[in-house]
Structures are given as C-alpha cells and as structure tokens.
Amino acid sequence: MLPDTTVVKTVLTGVARAEVTATSLGVVVRVPHEDTAAVLSALKSSDLGFVMLVDLLGTDTDEDVELTYHLRSFARDEELYVKCSLPHDGVLHSVWNVYASALLPERETAELFGLTLAGHPNPARLLTTDGEQPLLRRSVPIRTLKEVRDR
C-alpha cells in the first residue's frame, strides 16, 4: 500500500528538507544525507508507525552513491522509501540508533561502495577481506566471460 504523500510531508515538516514523490518504486522521500537519521526517527515515532527498516541498499549512479532505506509500517500496512545521496568518498552516518536492523547492511554497503562508516559501533568490513576493491561501484570491472574462459 502506498502512503499518502501529503501526510508524509506533514510529518517531515520542520525535520528536514524532504522531497516526497510517488515513483514506480512507491513513495520516495528524498533527503540530504546528514538528515537521514532525523527523518527516519521522525517517521518511526510518528503516527505513521514505520517501525521496521526492511532493507538498506546503495546504488552507484556514476555521479554519487544513492542510499535507499526501505521502511515498513505494520499498523497502516504501508511502505516508504527514503533516499539520500553521498559522494563516492563520502561518510555514511549510521542510523543504527533508530533501526538496529541497519547494523549489518550498513557495514556491507559501506564496504562494497567504498564509503567510510561513521557512528557505527563496529565499522569493520563484513563480507570481503581488507584491500578488496569496493565491488559494487560501477567503475570496478568484473572478469568477462572471455577472460574467464581464457584464464
């Protein structure tokens, strides 16, 4: 179910500069990265009741890294996406104080996009070993089929 964009806007008035739009994905709230924690916390504690962070992912848009926080409200059966952008060498501010479920996905995202993790209790790498390239950046190539065959 899609939440009402005006209601979301009302909740976020005074919290942050938020831009609420309905897209093919659903209702997307676009905020500056420094305000993410404040926005998430406002959404969580508001009547909308977005109590669960379903997912957190990054996307490399070539210019920057776009983070998507996927929220869910069980009370109203609604889903909301909060998006923010970070430069490639940016600092990812943890939101684990708001949603504990962000702990591991944040580590994974920071590691695979080459971001620095801040405010996280354990900002170590999660999946890959030290020195590995940030794999999910578009600029990091993978071996082509031909290269694998000729190996």
By the 8 A CB rule, do 56 and 63 touch? no
Task: Tell me the per-residue interface mask from 70 to 109 with another protein, x by CB under 8 A, - otherwise.
Answer: x---x--x------------------xx-xxx-xxx----
The Cα 57–Cα 52 span in angstroms is 15
Task: Report phi then psi at 11, rounded to 5.
Answer: -60, -35
CB of 86 to another protein, least distance (A): 15
Phi, psi of 20 (to 5 degrees): -105, 125
Structure tokens at 116: 């620095």
**According to the binding rule CB under 8 A, does residue 13 interact with another protein?**
no
Residues 88, 90: Cα–Cα separation, whole Å: 5
Using the rule CB under 8 A, which residue among 31, 60, 110, 114 binds another protein?
60
Applying the rule CB under 8 A, the residues between 109 and 148 that interact with another protein are 112, 121-122, 124-129, 135-136, 140, 142
Give SS3 for 109.
helix
One of 42, 53, 82, 95 touching another protein (CB under 8 A): 53
Residue ranges that bind another protein, judged by CB under 8 A? 23-26, 51-55, 57, 59-60, 68, 70, 74, 77, 96-97, 99-101, 103-105, 112, 121-122, 124-129, 135-136, 140, 142
